[in-house]
A and B are shown apart, each in its own frame.
Chain A
Amino acid sequence: GNSVTQMEGPVTLSEEAFLTINCTYTATGYPSLFWYVQYPGEGLQLLLKATKADDKGSNKGFEATYRKETTSFHLEKGSVQVSDSAVYFCARKEVQGAQKLVFGQGTRLTINP
């Protein structure tokens, strides 16, 4: 079936470090891909999305490129801040038919000053 696999956490980095959180998806259908972020005590917020191959989503310094050849949608940021500490979820949604989001297991990121 359709699934998403994320890099296991937790991930701990120092401020200004480079961040990569890996995400791969099963190569069925033509999904849209998303990264959601959950800050402590809050709900899930959309961070960025990409709807077709080679699209790049970006927001708040984060980027992810929809790579069909490697079925990946890795999240990157060049210089993380303490305020980026959160849980990050990769997700897919089919373009037609099912409206549900299918999530990866989430990666907890902690940034130390």
Chain B
Amino acid sequence: EPEVTQTPSHQVTQMGQEVILRCVPISNHLYFYWYRQILGQKVEFLVSFYNNEISEKSEIFDDQFSVERPDGSNFTLKIRSTKLEDSAMYFCASSEREGPNEQFFGPGTRLTVL
């Protein structure tokens, strides 16, 4: 069964460093998403991406964040200068089309900023 994969599973970084979190969505999906979950809190939407551009972003997704689909398979989230409060579990998701269709989630990357 096709699945969304994410790498790495755990990333530890120093405050101020850049990190890139990687995701491989399901191959025939057209919509891509990043969510995050700070420990003990809700899963929060960050950004959605369609047709090679951002279709929606939340207030969390400020200038420190960017997303890219560098080739036909990967979807990346970059944090330019990490802060302590960026420590969270980051989930990638993809869906085949819009509407009430299932978003398939990856297993997540746990980011720890020291």
Interface residues of A (CB under 8 A from B): 32, 36, 41-46, 49, 51, 89, 93, 95, 98-106
Task: Report B-chain residues with C-beta under 8 Å of the C-beta of A99.
Answer: 31, 33, 48, 50, 55-56, 95, 98
Q: Is B105 an interface residue (CB 8 A)?
A: yes
A24: min CB distance to chain B, Å: 15
Residue among A32, A51, A100, A105 making CB contact with B58, cutoff 8 Å: A100
B48 touches A89 (CB 8 A): no
Complex interface residues of chain B between 72 and 114 (CB less than 8 A to chain A): 91, 93, 95, 98-100, 102-108
A103 touches B42 (CB 8 A): yes
Q: Is B51 an interface residue (CB 8 A)?
A: no
Cα–Cα, bound, A1→B98 (Å): 21
